[in-house]
């Protein structure tokens, strides 16, 4: 079974540019989560999809961040325009819905560097 995949693995962009991160969850997992770890700080929750619906987006830092999950499969996280403080590692995770509580399966992350 393929795990959670994320693309790209690393992105370097200039301040003011736009970047789109992609996450492909494990097939059949309804839940999809985005987290990020900015430099030197803890991993923080950004948002949670159940299928294509946003269940919880309380962690989204501001309106420069836009997450979508059209069709309830893969998800994208767009940052527009990127700022220096957006640099960090963005993780995606997925989980099934059958049993609660359940573990989340994480992807390898996308390292975003804003210069």
Partner 1 sequence: SQQGEEDPQALSIQEGENATMNCSYKTSINNLQWYRQNSGRGLVHLILIRSNEREKHSGRLRVTLDTSKKSSSLLITASRAADTASYFCATVSYNTDKLIFGTGTRLQVFP
**Binds partner 1 by CB under 8 A, chosen from 55, 73, 76, 113:** 55
Dihedral angle of Cα 92, 7, 112, 96, to the nearest 10 degrees: 0
CA 58 – CA 24 distance, rounded (Å): 22
**Binds partner 1 by CB under 8 A, chosen from 19, 29, 48, 77:** 48
- For position 45 contacting partner 1 by CB under 8 A, the verdict is yes
CA 72 – CA 77 distance, rounded (Å): 14
- For position 112 contacting partner 1 by CB under 8 A, the verdict is no
**Binds partner 1 by CB under 8 A, chosen from 1, 42, 70, 98:** 42
Q: Which stretch binds partner 1 (CB under 8 A): 15-23, 29-37, 66-74, 78-86?
A: 29-37
Closest CB 60 distance from partner 1, rounded Å: 12
- For position 66 contacting partner 1 by CB under 8 A, the verdict is no
CA 64 – CA 42 distance, rounded (Å): 21
What does the DSSP 8-state code read for residue 59?
Answer: T
Q: Is 7 exposed, middle or buried (0-12, 13-18, 19+ CB in 10 A)?
A: middle
Binding interface with partner 1 (CB under 8 A): 3-4, 31, 33, 35, 42-45, 48, 55-56, 58-59, 91, 93, 95, 101, 103-109
């Amino acid at each position: 079974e393929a795990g959670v995949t994320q693309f790209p693995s690393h992105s370097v962009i200039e301040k003011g540019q736009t970047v789109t991160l992609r996450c492909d969850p494990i097939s059949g997992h309804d839940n999809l989560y985005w987290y990020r770890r900015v430099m030197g700080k803890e991993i923080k929750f950004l948002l949670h999809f159940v299928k294509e619906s946003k269940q919880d987006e309380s962690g989204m830092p501001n309106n420069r961040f836009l997450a979508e999950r059209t069709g309830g499969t893969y998800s994208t996280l767009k940052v527009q325009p990127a700022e220096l403080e957006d640099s960090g590692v963005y993780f995606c995770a997925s989980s099934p819905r059958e049993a609660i509580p359940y573990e989340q399966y994480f992807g390898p992350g996308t390292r975003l560097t804003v210069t």
